[in-house]
Structure formats: structure tokens, C-alpha cells
Chain A
């Protein structure tokens, strides 16, 4: 087992390098660089003197070096844990990401737990009552849930709440609590804001997980071993829960691996729409502003989480499924 984990980890290194190249190129590909967009922004505000600083700014940020050198420099610092500073905020990228991790994970973990918690039982119900009225209803709801982009759901909820109460629940805290220390009132206020993004994400997420679970379970229920178990006189609930559901969960374990990265990369657009202080909204901003180190760090962080998630999922699956041999 340990040998397997070690070899798998080593095998991840080339993939990781490929990922960094990929990530770096993505950041470098947009025409212009941070200085260009900085000068453009300054000029828009009527500050033309910024144009004179162009060359010195480039040198300051190392932007005058050839691309391969920049990649090398960036990577050598990257692996040492120095992910560079954000141009815009003039603070280390890690610090900015770290300060937003709390809110991001609160939303995503809540949404994840709720959608899996609801989606899996509903999927099981749907599959075991295939073509029943409830199944047809759930299937239709699923289609609608998958059809509505989560950011539109967020907007809809926002408008609905505004029409009903007159409150605009963007962000994670009302202005009154924005800089206040944590207190019961602030927590309640936080929860009041939290439910909108969580609900929006949960609806799409539940629909997805329900559909996957239903499909997997139907697939399992059609297999010969299920008939064989029934032929042995086992009660239906044992056949379904102990055997078929157990087998149907395996494909979900693989998607659990992707969930790790999803925690900081899902609901990107909701974050923008609802003005949430999350990693996603800062990523979006960094991408638009060509804030290379910040955007790149987040992008590669997502990639690394995918690699780790996949590894964890593989290990979990190997532990769950006797057919998978580790070595």
C-alpha cells in the first residue's frame, strides 16, 4: 500500500510539470501583460505619467526576461513555496488566497454535504422506483436543475429576496458587520447571506448527483448478481442496500476525487454575481487583470488539488473495491 502511494506520487511529478507549463502558458498567452493593463487603467483615470514608468516596472517585475527564463524563475520559486506577489494587491498570492479560503470552504463544504446528502438517497429512490410517478417527477426536476446555470439561480434568489424583504443579500456580511469582530449577531448575519449561494449551488449539485446515482444503481440492478441474490431469497432491502448500492457508489468515489478541486473552483460565476469574497472571485479578477502570479497560483493550486484528489480517490477505491489490485 505504502509502496503504491509512493510510486503514484512520483508518477505525478511529470504530470505536475506539464500542469505548470500549461498554467504558465495560459497566463502568458493573453496579449500584453500586467504593466500594459496597469498603464491602460491609469490612463483611463487621466494619469498619463504612468506610461513613463513602463520599462522600469517591467524590469521590477522581471517581465523583460525571455519567457523560458521567466518560467524557470517562476517554477524554481514555486516549488520552494514562494508563489510570487500579486501585482494588484502587492501582497503574496498565498496570503490573498489564504484570507479567502475560510468563506470559500464554508460555502463549498456546506453545498457539497447537502447536495450529496440529498442527491444520493433521492437517486436510490428513483432507481428503485423506476418509471413510477415520483421517479418521473424527480427526473424532470433533475433536468430542470441541470439546465439552470447556478449563477442565474443565485441572481433569481437575490431578486426574489429583494422583492419580498427589500434586502439585497450580496457579499457575506451586511455593511454593519463588515469590519466588526465576530459575534453572535455577525454569525447570524453571515448565515443569512450564506444560504443564497449554498442553495444555488446545491440545486444544480443535487440534480447532478441524483442523476449519476440513479444511472449507476439502475446499471447495477440489471446485473446478473442481483437476480442471483434475489434467487437466494434475500429480502429486497438487503439486495438493494447491501449489494447494489454498495457497487453503485464506486463510480462516485472517482468523482469525489474531483470534488477536492471543486471546493475552491466551483461556483466561480456565482461568486462574482453575489460579490462573494471567495478564491474564485479573486481568480476571475486576476485573470481579467492579468495578475499573473495570483491567477497562476490559483490555477495550479486547482490542478494540484486534482492530482491529490485523484490519488486519494484511487486509494479509497482500491480499499473499497477488492477487484483493484494495488501492485
Chain B
């Protein structure tokens, strides 16, 4: 229970007093910071986005490089204790070679020799462009050939899963943001227009949104994703997918904005602005939008995890992101075949990243929702 409410049910005077002490935005930030889970979520997401931003630096290999000698290699963590039990620093790996069992056809990896290959930090290796702009070849860590460092193993083509996950973050973490942006634009515009115009346009739009809001997402996404022409390249597809994903929210957003427009249109201060001959655009941007922003923000934040989930699901089914781009969902696509998965369970590791990202966004969304309305409970 909130102290404001408890002190007195009719507390307009006090609410005003509160604003003079702290601005609404400060109050929101304060409440957000108090929410431990929201802060944890924010920290995790910051790390994830930094990872996406510095993908080239963090990834020891190019995500497309195939290590032909090392297909389906299991994860191999650098060691600090050698086979004789001696301690070494920096951590090191052994070079490995694969052997296929002639009876079971199962591949296994064994160390060759006892030469230690230490991790080299800030080492020069494969060239890449940092932020897609600055050409460089410095990686956070690397090992000398013939040894390899596959933190999360490799796929059946011998591509380093860790590097692919790091690069995949670029797609998986932005597709939701892009989707939300698109839905913000569509939802806000449609909401304002339908709230202001009313009449037939409003009626048809609302009927349509009625279905859209309650329609199960996955079947709808599937149906829409199949409409993307297969001839499109992976960048075009990326944008198309985020457009498809934006469907989750724009209906709800448009409804929220429309509701606020309808309610606010009648308020005294908007009426006053009208009589003062303020233009429609002025009323919308100065009075209507700021007043709906907190609700819109909450709906938008809570929609991002659904979008990440959507991208994962679509790419998992092969209907989403296409190579040469990579995303977490696309990586999981390889784990789809049960037989493959049973032999290479590490292919499920990208799922951990998906889950953490979704949880982090949910934490933040919840924190924002609680903080957005500082005067309610």
C-alpha cells in the first residue's frame, strides 16, 4: 500500500506537494532503482547489448569460418591445470583431433600431444570491422593454431558456436527493438487518427484490432512469415520479420492511445487549448502524447520479450532470419532434429541466452510498470 493513499484517500494537495519535491521522472527513476530485479535485468541487458556491439572483439573466430577438422566438437573450456596436475596461468588448451568410432559412427575428440597452447589476450587474429566500421584484428582472446578454443563447441560444419552466439545477439536483440519501434509508430498513429476521426474508420479499425489482439500469435506469425518472398536477401528479411513481429503490440498500443485520446479530448485543458486556437498537431504532441507515454512505454517494454520469443520461434522453424545472418533462433534451428540434438546437446546453449534476455526484459518491463505510475500503488 502506498503511503500517499494511506495517509488520505483524497490527497490531491499532497500529490502536488510531492511534485514540488521530485519531478515525476525522478520519482520514476527512484522507484525503478529500488526494484532489485529490474536493476538486475538492466545490468544483464547492458552486458548483452555490449556483447552485441563488440561482437567482433569478443568472438575469437568469424561466425562463418568453418573449421573443417573440428565438426560437432563439444564445448571445451580453457584449463588451468595440466594433465600432470600442475597449475598454469594464463589458461591454456590442448590441440585436439577427432576420431570416429567405426561401430557407432560417433565422433569423439582427444587431445593430441601435451603441448599447452595458452590463451593470448588482446591477440591479433582474423580481421573484422568493429561496429561494422573500424577495420581491426584484435580479439579479446585467441589461441595459436593448430589448437582451437571452442567455448560452446561447434556445429556440424565446424563453426564456433560461441562466436555465432555473440554475433547472433546483434540480430536477436535488435529485431525486438525494431519491432517495437515499428509498432510504436503504427500504433500511435492509428490510435490518434481513430480517436480523433471516430466514425466508420474508427469502427473498422477497432473491429480489426479486436481480432488482432486476441488472435494466437504463433499461428498468425507463421502465416505472415510465409508471405515473405523467398527471393529477399537476409537484410530485407530481417526488416520484414521485425514488421511481422510488430503485430504483437500495435493493436494494443493503438487501442491504448485511442482510449487516452478519447478521454483526454474532453478534458478541460485540451478544450482550453482548442479554444485558444491551438492546432490539432500541437494538441496531439503537447497534450495527448505526453499523457499517454507512460502507458505506451509499459506496453512497449513488455512486448519486447514476446518479440524476441517470436524471432526465436520463427527462425527456429526456418521461417525467420536466413543465413548468412545469424540469430539465436537460427542457431537453435540446428537443434531441431532430435537425433542431432541427442548427439550434440550443446547446440541448445543459445537457448540460455534467449531465456536470460527474455527474463531480463521482463524484469525491466515490470520495473517500469511499477515505476511508471508513482502515485498509484
Contact = CB atoms under 8 A, between A and B. Distances in A.
A185 B335 CA distance: 32
B230 interface: yes
B224 interface: yes
Given A146-B362, A147-B355, A268 B229 contact: no
Given A159-B345, A258-B214, A27 B207 contact: no
Interface in B122-140: none
Contacts of A268: 218-219, 222
B216 A168 contact: no
Interface string B341-368: 1100100100100111011001100000
Contacts of B309: 149
A122 B309 CA distance: 25
Tell me the dominant secondary structure on chain B's binding face.
helix
A306 B211 contact: yes
A316 B74 CA distance: 55
A257 B215 CA distance: 11
A283 B324 CA distance: 28
A222 B1 contact: yes
A222 B377 contact: yes
B359 A15 contact: no
Nearest to A257: B214
A302 B216 contact: yes
A18 B348 contact: no
B314 to A, nearest CB: 9
Given A31-B230, A273-B336, A162 B342 contact: yes
A224 B9 contact: yes
Contacts of B210: 15
Contacts of A158: 338, 341
Interface in A285-310: 287-288, 290, 295, 298-299, 302-303, 306, 310
Interface stretch (A1-9, A67-75, A98-106, A259-267): A259-267
B327 interface: no
B359 A147 contact: yes
Contacts of A15: 207, 210-211
Contact of B215 (A140, A283, A306): A306
Contacts of A258: 214, 216
A174 to B, nearest CB: 14
Contacts of A30: 226-227
A18 B207 contact: yes
Contacts of A284: 222, 317
A324 B307 CA distance: 35
Contacts of B211: 15, 18-19, 22, 303, 306
A306 B214 contact: yes
Contacts of A146: 305, 358-359, 362
Contact of B216 (A156, A224, A257, A265): A265
A46 B101 CA distance: 34
Interface string A163-184: 0000010100000000000000
A26 interface: yes
A288 B226 contact: yes
Given A168-B338, A170-B338, A269 B316 contact: yes
Contacts of B223: 26-27, 287, 295, 299
B270 interface: no
Contacts of A159: 341-342, 345, 348
Contacts of A151: 313, 316
Contacts of A287: 222-223, 226
Nearest to A267: B218
Interface string B205-240: 001101100111011001110110111000000000
B351 A152 contact: yes
Contact of A156 (B215, B316, B319, B348): B348
B312 interface: yes
B197 to A, nearest CB: 19
Contacts of A137: none
B69 to A, nearest CB: 27
A143 B338 contact: no
Contacts of A168: 338, 342
Contacts of B356: 147
A152 B216 contact: no
Given A143-B37, A306-B214, A265 B1 contact: no
Nearest to B228: A30
A114 interface: no
Scoring A27, A156, A273, A295 by chain B CB atoms within 10 A of each residue's CB, the highest score goes to: A273
A19 B207 CA distance: 10
Given A30-B226, A287-B223, A303 B338 contact: no
A148 interface: yes
A198 B19 CA distance: 51
A144 interface: yes
A20 B309 CA distance: 27
A27 B223 CA distance: 7
A3 to B, nearest CB: 22
B219 A302 contact: yes
A272 B222 CA distance: 13
A27 B220 CA distance: 11
B55 interface: no
Nearest to B232: A31
Contacts of A222: 1, 5, 377
A149 B345 CA distance: 17
B332 interface: yes
19 contacts: A22-B211, A27-B223, A143-B363, A148-B358, A149-B354, A152-B348, A155-B341, A155-B348, A159-B342, A224-B9, A265-B218, A269-B313, A273-B336, A280-B219, A287-B222, A290-B226, A302-B215, A302-B216, A302-B219
Interface of B: 1, 5, 9, 37, 207-208, 210-211, 214-216, 218-219, 222-224, 226-227, 229-231, 305, 309, 312-313, 316-317, 319, 332, 335-336, 338, 341-342, 345, 348, 351, 354-356, 358-359, 362-363, 377
Given A27-B223, A159-B345, A265-B219, 4 more contacts: A147-B305, A159-B341, A159-B342, A283-B222
